[in-house]
Structure 1
Amino acid sequence: MTGKVGATMRRHVLAGMTGIIVAFTASLPASAATYPEKAIRIIVPVAAGGSTDLVARIFQMTIERLKLLPQPLVIVNNAAAGGTVGTRMIKDAEPDGYTLGIWHMGLLTAAAMGVTDYDHTAFDLVAQVGAIEVGLAVKSDSKIASLKELVAEAKARPGQVSAAMNIGLLPHFVPLMFASEAGIDFRWVQAGGGSVRLRSVLGNHTEFSLFSVPEFVTFGPQGIRPLVVFSSARHPRVANVPTAAELGYNFTFSEAILWLAPRGTPKDRVDVVAKAIEASMRDDDFKKRYDEQGIDPAYIPGDKLKAVLDQRMTGIKAVAAQVKAAKTN
């Protein structure tokens, strides 16, 4: 008797649990309940080896190691046309959650400088996942040993000191802003992403370039010497490198790293990815990798990110207008 009652009760309990699970599953949007069903393509608009690519690969390794998504992430590097081909690929992709992108403030500067006809408002913003300090560096054996000497050289040879840049993006925009602050001008040489600019400097094709702190850390042993960081305080990963403020220049700038989705991607799918991103950033190994590279884990969720980028864009447009006016005078 007891056995029959127990078996009957177990059947009722299991039936009830099944009903709850079915009801819960039914309450989820169909796309979220099954997404992702295949690999997600992550477009990174730089060549492999730069700081943005490094961030993408840290996320890829962490998400797959922790099994935060049931399908793999496939990184696709496309550095063509200074990264604008890659950002357009993200923008124009099918908004189904299977093509996403990781990029930086170049999305704003390229638009402000007229290199692209779209900015952050052309995308669904998933999250900001970090801030990276940037600065200038020369080849290790360069005769230019300090920022003071770089400025002096630029004044002695107006418009002749060559800078490896990526047109319209941070390696172009930030040195332009600094040049305006210092009252100098450089000769701009199109190169590309971080690893390409490194080859340009090491090959004596150009005299200096903008690099990020993670690139200082990675590229330093390959033969570059940082002159300055454009942060508010010295960075612990390159504590021997002075800030611009220490050297008498009122100039700071940092690079925000952004996860992007094509405009119109279902919100529930964006949310699935956003949760995997947040979980990654809580992981101890992830934190260690960020720290080793000197990346600040400055997280901003997608629903708050547009207002932040709108504000930054206002400032960037103002500087871009000044730069354009100076070039036409």
Structure 2
Amino acid sequence: MFKRVLKNVVVSLSVLGFSASTAFAAFPDKDLTLVVPWSAGGGTDTIARALVKNAEKHIGVNVNVVNKIGGQGVVGMSSVKLARPDGYTVGLITFGLSTYELMGLSNLNYHDFKLLQLLNQSSTALSVKSDSKWKSLKDVMEFAKANPGQVTVGHTGAGVAWHLSIASLAEAYGIKFNFIPFDGAAPTSSALLGGHIDLAATGIDEVKQLREGGQLNVLAIDAVNTNPSFPDIPTYTDAGYKVGAPVLDWRGLALPKNVPADRVKFLEEGFKKMFDDPEFREFTKTVGLGLVYEDSKGFEDFLANMEKVLKPTLESVGLTKK
């Protein structure tokens, strides 16, 4: 008798437009977890913690950041894919998801997730020491053209956005650079300032303080338009070197697949409120981080196009799987 009554109640609620999960379980009734696939203190971790700082104000509970590192981000993002699809685990997914399959590093790709939103896109900055003989991107390109393999370019790892951005530029203009990988933007910048490399390819936000301190000059950025925070720095095209679509680093939010639709909607709205929070936006402006919002559909379209852009670039540097 009780089972029949309960069933009738559920059916009635369904007719009224409520799901069983909405009717019988408040969501969220405990804190959420945001998985960051990179180490604490890095750029991705920093933006994650700033984003969820005021989460309770917007969704009624806290969002706890958990760092799960390893495998160039594969470990953390895989843990999100395999998490229980109840809406309590959110993942901060990053650029590597656009290259893993193409490079043969993992079968993980954006189709494995329910996308929530794009958070930001960051442009590559090409920097030299402030006392460098090169004062423009043209200076570098002309010297590199005349002296194949002599210009050393530091970056933060084979296949990352910064590496692929300048590799794309080199491929388009028949330039041969000598690429040298480092474990992060800090050691890359240190190598540049120490005179161990000629050129550094990093995120524009990662060299903001060094530029403001007069220690290095940013010659150009890989972007469609100039960065509002750095209006005096030309894009590749502005500097005279037009390439295809820019190779942009990116970060976004995603869920495991099959999270109930009502919970997905709640999280979409809640994280958008966090994204729009004045304190978060002021923080990102201060550190020079470019915010770019796309909803789940726009995010999916962006990622599909990224794969088309990256495939020929990865092939040009010999990084596609055999």
TM-score by length of structure 1 reads 0.76
Q: Secondary structure at the match of 1:236?
A: coil
Q: CA deviation at 1:300?
A: 1.6
Cα 1:110–1:91, aligned 2, differ >3 Å: closer, same or farther?
same
SS of 1:228's equivalent in the other structure is strand
Closer, same or farther in 2 for the Cα pair 1:83/1:285, shift >3 Å? same
Change (3 A) 1:305 1:194: same
AA partner of residue 214 (structure 1): D
Q: How many aligned residue pairs are there?
A: 304
> Structure 2: which amino acid aligns with 1:62?
N
**Equivalent residue, structure 2, for 1:8:** none
Q: Conserved in 1, the CA contact under 8 Å of 2:151 and 2:198? A: no
* Equivalent residue for 2:299, pick from 301, 305, 308: 305
Find the counterpart in structure 1 of residue 9 from structure 2: none
Call closer, same or farther: CA 1:325–1:302 in 2, change over 3 Å. closer
**Distance in 1 separating the partners of 2:189 and 2:304:** 32
* Residue 244 of structure 1: aligned partner: 236
**Aligned-residue offset at 1:227:** 1.9
- Alignment-mate amino acid for residue 59 of structure 1: L
The secondary structure found in structure 2 opposite 1:36 is coil
Q: Greater CA deviation, 277-286 or 187-196?
A: 187-196
Q: Which segments of 5 or more consecutive residues in structure 2 lack a partner in the other structure? A: 1-12
Please say if 1:235 is aligned against 2:244: no
Match of 1:277 in 2: 271
Corresponding position of 1:3? none
The answer as to 2:141 corresponding to 1:151 is: yes
For 1:183, the equivalent position in structure 2 comes to 174
Following superposition, the deviation at residue 207 of structure 1 comes to 4.1
Task: Please state whether the residue corresponding to 1:41 is helix, strand or coil.
Answer: strand
Unaligned runs of 5+ in 1: 1-22
Q: Structure 1 residues 89 and 317, CA, compared in 2 at 3 Å: closer, same or farther?
A: same
Residue 173 in structure 1 maps to residue 164 in structure 2? yes
1:195–1:94 distance in 2 versus 1, CA, 3 Å: farther
Q: Work out whether residues 34 and 64 of structure 2, in 8 Å CA contact, stay in contact via their aligned partners in 1.
A: yes
Aligned to 2:28: 36
Cross-structure match for 1:211: 202
Distance, in Å, in 2 between the alignment partners of 1:281 and 1:29 is 29
* In structure 2, distance between residues paired with 1:138 and 1:280: 36
For residues 9-59 of structure 1, what are the alpha-carbon distances to aligned partners after superposition, in whole Å with 9 as ceiling and x for unaligned? xxxxxxxxxxxxxx7999354269433343322222334454433321221
Provide the alpha-carbon RMSD of the alignment: 3.4
198-207 or 23-32, which deviates more: 23-32
TM norm structure 2: 0.78
Q: Residue 143 of structure 1: CA displacement?
A: 5.1
> What CA distance in whole angstroms lies between the structure 2 residues aligned with 1:312 and 1:126?
17
**1: distance between equivalents of 2:193 and 2:234?**
22
